[in-house]
Amino acid sequence: MNIRSFAKINVSLRNLGPRPEDGYHELEMVNLPIDLHDVITIDPLPYEGDTYITCNDLRLLGLKGNLCTRALEAMRERYGFKENFRISIHKNIPFAAGLGGGSSNAACVMLALDQMLKLHASKEDLSEIGLRLGADVPFFLNPKPCLVTGVGEKMSPIPVKGVIYCLVVKPEEGLSTKDVYAICDSFPKENIDTKGVLEGLENQDLAQVAACRGNDLYAPAKSLLPKIETIVSSLKTEGFAVAAMSGSGSACFGLTTDRRLAMKAERKFIKAGYIVRLCKVLD
């Protein structure tokens, strides 16, 4: 089974603060899936006593308990299957970028196991399992434009009008989500109008989106990696209607309805030495 594992951007992200019971942060996010994707291949190994995971990005092979392994073991614990698999991940989504690549991979493995083994898992059960793996995993079980609340488990689909091009620009350096969240509550919050963001997307008014959006993780992230601010400023200079950082970084993005503008900027950022992906928002 070959699966496309899509990335997402956080057009807007409000940090409502940590929950007293577990310290997880309550969030209010506007998430858009983009057509940037990894490819995951899963083959059953009926005569093997273990599961093997390979990846073209060697940094992920060195991570103990990567999300795909954890997803498989969480599904095995819940549903009690014995089968093993060869899972091959071809990465195209930049690593440590705030684009949800690892969470997307985990969600795809869960959905593939459900289909291949005919587990008949409910959406609620998959979401519960996914949330234990990471806050973004439930979103990727059905990646559609959504207003996401809670700690990532509550999703309300939203309309997005027209074709929107997304230029993803990332410095070589990544950021740890854990490190950004560890300091985020010491920074002032942005003035974010989530309702205005949703209205702008529904009416294809990116100027309204830009005026209403924000990301409460931007200030702590750029304090750790100042290059982020440089990229966002450059995206604005290039004429993108919306220029921002996604999630906890370090990837930034520009949104526009002008394909030529996006292609011209793509060449400039590649020449400047950044990791660049030109893609479109999925509906």
Residues annotated as catalytic (active site), given as ranges: 8, 136
Inter-residue long-range contacts of 190-199, CB under 8 Å, 24+ positions, other chains counted: 190/14, 190/214, 190/215, 190/216, 190/218, 190/219, 192/12, 192/14, 192/28, 192/216, 194/12, 194/14, 194/28, 194/30, 194/147, 197/11, 197/12, 197/30, 198/30, 198/147, 198/158
* 168, 253 Cβ separation under 8 angstroms: yes
- The rounded distance, in Å, linking the Cα atoms of 108 and 5 is 6
Q: Which amino acid is at 176?
A: S
Which helix (H) or strand (E) segment holds residue 150: the answer is strand 146-150
Is-contact 171 246, C-beta < 8 A?
A: no
Q: How far apart are the C-alpha atoms of 82 and 67, rounded to whole Å?
A: 19
Interatomic CA distance for residues 40 and 134, integer angstroms: 19
> Which residue do the tokens 């973004």 mark?
136
Helices (H), the chain: 58-61, 67-79, 101-116, 123-133, 137-140, 177-184, 194-202, 206-212, 218-224, 227-237, 259-271
Alpha-carbon distance of 83 to 90, in angstroms, equals 23
